[in-house]
A = this chain, B = another copy of it.
Amino acid sequence: MAEYFPRVKAIKYEGPDSKNPLAFKHYDPKRKVGGKTMAEHLRFAVCYWHSFRGAGADPFGVGTRTMPWLDAADEMTAAEQTLDACFEFISKLGVGFWCFHDRDIAPEGADVDDSARNLEHIVKLAKKKQRDTGIKLLWGTANLFSHPRYRSGAATACNPHVVAHAASQVKRALDATKYLGGSGYVFWGGREGYESLLHTDMARELDHLGRFLHMALDYKKKIRFGGQFFIEPKPKEPTKHQYDSDAAACHAFLQKYDLVKDFKLNIEANHATLAGHEFMHDLMYAADNKILGSVDANRGDTLLGWDTDQFPTNIYETALAMMVILKAGGFTKGGLNFDAKLRRQSVDVEDLFYAHIGAMDAFARGLVIAHQIIKDKALDKFVNDRYKTWNSDLGRKFEKGKLTLDQLEAYARKHGEPAVPSGRQELIENVFNDYIK
């Protein structure tokens, strides 16, 4: 078996003073942070599509990366080599999980059965890889957006014949995910949206999506797949409007179609910002509604209007994200999947290591910062103080629904103008900054 990263050995933790670009400076997998190890907290996953299939093409140019595993006489050989490369990489990186779309790991065949055979072949090899390396599957999914047949949608296509193909892919991808012991399964509806309202029956399409997800749930029960179902919000791109726009839109949809108990969200940083929200906001919205499931850990560029899918490096963002995740109890079936791609000029095989190392270190720092802030109640002090009047008799009665507008007015009449404490935002930001180190 070829070695694809011969110049790179297993990445080790060397501490913050190391000058070795191929070492972790902060991510120490076995280091305990508040009762769990860093590895247990962060549950990093490497993604197959960007890291092993994406060569750097963009709308203005072809791929640029050196990807020797794709050099092969036929597609199945390339698929096998890619699997080798991926597991070699993850092993050397020391990450616990991977994620894939069906079409990332095995090529589309001549028909549905041929495609299924391709997938099964690779999935068997992957099972062996998992056994040999200890790497686990965080989640699987089906690519229902790249093939031209999905151009008007998959579950929301204008023709149910297209949905039949989508169903076949989801069924097979669920089989594969179960077989590989995946913790979850993600639905990202890349083409579930519209290009123009002038030719779209939005209500009917959303009903179809609701139906389709129920069918997937039925199938999940049938095969006794115990993983978590996730849907992934994104507001736009490739379509003008994606139905799963943001965490709130997904929440509305899940409630309407009676899916809210069976689905959680896979929040992606760059998707949240494209929707006009901070990453932390969509995480918190999901957490508050008990639907925070997993995370696509990347970053965007808020001055650009498309999904740049950059590796996360900003310590503020990783710390704030981890603060929400820790407060929500940490990951159970989800994790931090690096849905991120190398910049188009990062063409060397080593760049993939640098990118992941930096991202893992950034999240390790974020974890430590978040843990410390929570432990010190550094922000909670301010929050508790700010809302303390809600613990009064008036506040408690209000929260229990025991007050009327008349009674509240009587209170206002009796007590005159309220005192509203300073929001102390600048001071709180200073305190947060004290933890950035």
Contact = CB atoms under 8 A, between A and B. Distances in A.
Among A64, A157, A342, A437, residue most surrounded by chain B Cβ atoms (within 10 Å):
A64
Given A202-B284, A208-B399, A427-B354, A405 B167 contact: yes
A408 interface: yes
Given A61-B147, A147-B61, A161-B389, A111 B195 contact: no
Given A195-B425, A358-B426, A409 B288 contact: no
A280 interface: yes
Contacts of A420: 148-149, 151-152, 157-159, 162, 345, 347
A152 B218 contact: no
Contacts of A389: 158-161
Nearest to A171: B405
B203 A288 contact: yes
Interface stretch (A36-44, A179-187, A209-217): A209-217
Contact of A199 (B164, B248, B273, B382): B382
Contacts of A253: 248
A159 B412 contact: no
Interface in A401-431: 401, 403-406, 408-409, 411-413, 415-431
A62 B408 contact: no
Contacts of A355: 426
B61 A151 contact: yes
A178 interface: no
B165 A412 contact: yes
Nearest to A272: B303
Given A58-B59, A275-B276, A395-B160, A429 B147 contact: no
Contacts of A203: 288
A305 B162 CA distance: 29
A32 to B, nearest CB: 22
Interface stretch (A76-84, A92-100, A311-319): A311-319
A342 B196 CA distance: 13
Interface stretch (A2-10, A122-130, A232-240, A329-337): A232-240
Interface in A346-392: 346-348, 351, 354-355, 357-358, 361-362, 379, 382-383, 386-387, 389-390, 392
A266 B294 CA distance: 34
A149 B351 contact: no
Nearest to A349: B422
Interface in A282-313: 284-285, 288-289, 301-307, 311, 313
Given A157-B420, A203-B288, A411-B161, A426 B276 contact: no
A47 interface: no
A406 to B, nearest CB: 7
A150 B235 CA distance: 32
Nearest to A17: B434
Among A196, A255, A273, A392, residue most surrounded by chain B Cβ atoms (within 10 Å):
A196
A159 B345 CA distance: 13
A19 to B, nearest CB: 9
A72 interface: no
25 contacts: A59-B307, A60-B238, A61-B190, A62-B147, A64-B151, A158-B386, A162-B418, A164-B408, A195-B345, A197-B278, A197-B281, A199-B379, A199-B424, A199-B428, A204-B390, A215-B403, A236-B304, A249-B249, A278-B303, A315-B436, A345-B423, A346-B425, A351-B424, A354-B430, A358-B427
Given A159-B421, A313-B430, 17 more contacts: A56-B151, A61-B238, A151-B345, A152-B386, A159-B418, A195-B344, A196-B343, A199-B386, A199-B424, A215-B403, A215-B404, A238-B344, A252-B255, A306-B306, A311-B429, A313-B433, A315-B436
Give the 7 A-B CB pairs with smallest separation, nearest first.
Answer: A305-B305, A345-B423, A167-B408, A161-B418, A358-B430, A252-B252, A248-B249
